[in-house]
Chains A and B, each alone.
Chain A
């Protein structure tokens, strides 16, 4: 399902003394099946864009095409439910949306709202708890009796249970310990590949954007200022600095090495693994010479 934003502008609290423009003429195309990262410093409008992707916010100007549904400022839309079922959002600190008596019921809440039969919703809930590495006995517990990391997983399961075609993630790992972070990011990547999802990730971690994304868009003061593959985006340090962003650690280290040996590595190394590999090859080549 392609998502296209055309000249999207958005103002919070329009026509009040507190009006705050958050987006200015944003154009963005998210191709079906791609992994799109959106990066930018705090307050640059990332979360505002995300909420447009399933019509929680409607643009004050411009339009958004989500699959074959068009969302515009003053257009009443009967198809919004359909959009919301297909586009699942994992908000920042998603555990704050848990409410039901048991974990099982909470996970089933989303799909049942969209008319999925109870048996099927239950089946999905059980399958997802396993997938997310939660012990089976949590299903009958109250979500409020779980640890922080477990609550996060339950909340994520609640979104995945709707079987969305597009998965939108707003800093899904904030506050978790390093292992929890890695497990959850890897899980999203596996789902992305296996189920052919379109994934949109908002993150402050350049490392995650570099490692997982096919496409990166940079937001700066409410505008989408740069778009490209990770290779393209992280090739220009000056531009990143201008937008108050940094290079991923591996690229920064790569630059240090390149400066020291006065040679360039053949590609930009987006992950620690690729950096080590490229370095090793270079060293082996040096050895042979």
Chain B
């Protein structure tokens, strides 16, 4: 069994502590994330995903239940140590760019953690190289595209060599190309190191990349499983405001037209193969 990295137990959280009429943002949520996994968290707008992210790195603390990171319950004492092990990238590329130029921004977390100057220079260069942004070292944020800004944010998040990378809709404000750039970067990082990736997303392509998917609905964990297990739920997901992978939609539409298929396929390859073997290869 792999090592447990983050674990939530019966976590309930409400922003409106004094108003019991407001539905809590999270209600009795439990899950465990293991080392080197890629976990996607999906769910409709307002289902509590960002709140989960804030709980996982101690920006918020739950009213009931516990959040354990690296086996220890998260508290005021181990907070900063935990944060240095967890890089985080947010949705809006403009609002998380702290430094005046790309290299200053990447160095920010290093400065905060008291890394000596020489090592800082090395790490900044290495991080920027990893996200393919070395040539933009001296650029100012308003001269970068959204995708480039997010890659800088990733470089800043990994400069401390964290164990966990947490992405909260990091691609949702980007154009398709920017999104592809960012995803390719994360995928590559994941391969090179044993990073644990947690990505919160509305984007199915991104969810399909994951080993496990946690689906949130109205502040509760709805299901958890591999992408296959989740998307087999079909219509149920659509009713909860999610979308299905393209191949799956086509499979369902074909069946509705009276074309038998082995299954509702998740990937285009499977669908093409199925169509070939059962209908065209005669």
Which chain A residues have a beta carbon within 8 Å of chain B's beta carbons? 41-43, 147-149, 174-180, 204-205, 244, 246, 249-250, 253, 256-257, 260-261, 272-273, 275-277, 279-280, 283-284, 286-287
Quick one: CB contact mask for B196-215 with A, threshold 8 Å, 1 for yes? 00000010100000000000
Cross-chain contact of B268 among A41, A253, A277, A286 (Cβ < 8 A):
A253
Cross-chain contact of B280 among A249, A250, A273, A286 (Cβ < 8 A):
A286
Chain B: interface size category: 35 or more
Q: Which residues of the other chain, B, contact A244 by a CB distance below 8 angstroms?
A: 177
Assembled-state Cα–Cα distance A186/B16 (Å): 35
Q: List 24 A-B contacts (CB under 8 A).
A: A41-B175, A147-B46, A149-B46, A174-B172, A174-B173, A175-B173, A178-B202, A178-B204, A178-B242, A179-B243, A204-B176, A205-B176, A244-B177, A257-B272, A261-B276, A261-B280, A276-B250, A276-B253, A279-B259, A280-B257, A283-B259, A284-B259, A286-B279, A286-B280
Interface residue B116 (Cβ < 8 Å from any Cβ of A) = no
| Chain A interface SS verdict (over half) | helix
Number of A-B contacts (CB under 8 A): 96
Assembled-state Cα–Cα distance A120/B173 (Å): 37
Which chain B residues have a beta carbon within 8 Å of chain A's beta carbons? 43-46, 91, 145-147, 169, 172-173, 175-178, 202, 204, 238, 241-243, 246-247, 249-250, 253-254, 256-259, 268, 272, 275-276, 279-280, 282
Instruction: Please tell me if the beta carbons of B279 and A41 are within 8 angstroms of each other in the complex.
Output: no
Cross-chain contact of A249 among B177, B246, B276, B282 (Cβ < 8 A):
B246
Q: Smallest Cβ distance from A184 to chain B, in angstroms? A: 12
Q: Which residues of the other chain, B, contact A205 by a CB distance below 8 angstroms?
A: 176
Instruction: Please tell me if the beta carbons of A257 and B275 are within 8 angstroms of each other in the complex.
Output: yes
Assembled-state Cα–Cα distance A28/B267 (Å): 39
Question: What residue in chain B is nearest A248 (Cβ atoms)?
Answer: B246
Q: Which residues of the other chain, B, contact A148 by a CB distance below 8 angstroms?
A: 45-46
Question: What residue in chain B is nearest A178 (Cβ atoms)?
Answer: B243
Once A175-B173, A180-B241 are accepted as A-B contacts, the answer to whether A256 and B272 lie under 8 Å apart by CB is: yes
Instruction: Please tell me if the beta carbons of A179 and B44 are within 8 angstroms of each other in the complex.
Output: yes
Q: Smallest Cβ distance from A124 to chain B, in angstroms? A: 26
